[in-house]
Chain A
Amino acid sequence: AQSVTQLDSHVSVSEGTPVLLRCNYSSSYSPSLFWYVQHPNKGLQLLLKYTSAATLVKGINGFEAEFKKSETSFHLTKPSAHMSDAAEYFCVVSDPNDYKLSFGAGTTVTVRA
């Protein structure tokens, strides 16, 4: 079975400072991992995905994530937070057998001016 654990339910940063959102995964297979973002009253938007190519994945809006198999982690980072980054972020793993997505509990990001 696949699962993900997001280690922080809430992260607060100042505008212009780095953002780190932590995600650990559990998978019996080589996983496909995703980060999605959800702004208030909106659907989910794909930020980036890892599918066994390069371990450092670059996404939209300056986000990137590093896949570390030894640590079973897929942390999301951004060097400089912007007010528009305030949202909820979900780490997601895809089951290679039936392609079902399993979501983490989400991390709410607050950006202080």
Chain B
Amino acid sequence: KAGVTQTPRYLIKTRGQQVTLSCSPISGHRSVSWYQQTPGQGLQFLFEYFSETQRNKGNFPGRFSGRQFSNSRSEMNVSTLELGDSALYLCASRRYREAETQYFGPGTRLLVL
């Protein structure tokens, strides 16, 4: 069974631009969560989607948004990029919200110049 896939793997943007990252969960998994990983803040929860609805949101500004499609694929968007948005963005999926284990993708590394 294929794992969680994320595209693109690497991205370079400039301040003020916007970016969209994509995540395809493991087949049959309906919950997708997004995390930001930086050296200074570590791993922080962004949001979770289940059945096309946002179920949870972390403490990030409104510039960070996401959505989930009927096939469970998810996208996250960051508008008006700032230098501090440079990070590894990880996506994780699980079969349903109550499932205990999340499976992570390889991440998208975003560099904002």
Give A contacts to B, CB under 8 Å: 32, 34, 36, 41-46, 49, 51, 90, 94, 98-106
Contact = CB atoms under 8 A, between A and B. Distances in A.
Given A100-B45, A106-B42, A46 B103 contact: yes
A105 B105 contact: no
Contact of A43 (B33, B42, B98, B106): B106
A106 to B, nearest CB: 6
Residue from the set A34, A49, A51, A103 with the largest chain B CB neighbour count within 10 Å: A103
B8 to A, nearest CB: 14
A41 B48 CA distance: 23
B89 to A, nearest CB: 11
B25 interface: no
**B interface, over-half SS:** strand
Contacts of B101: 34, 46, 49
A103 B43 contact: yes
B81 interface: no
Interface in B74-113: 90, 92, 97-98, 100-107, 109
Interface string B32-48: 01010000001111001
A100 B35 CA distance: 11
Nearest to B97: A99
B53 interface: no
A98 B100 contact: no
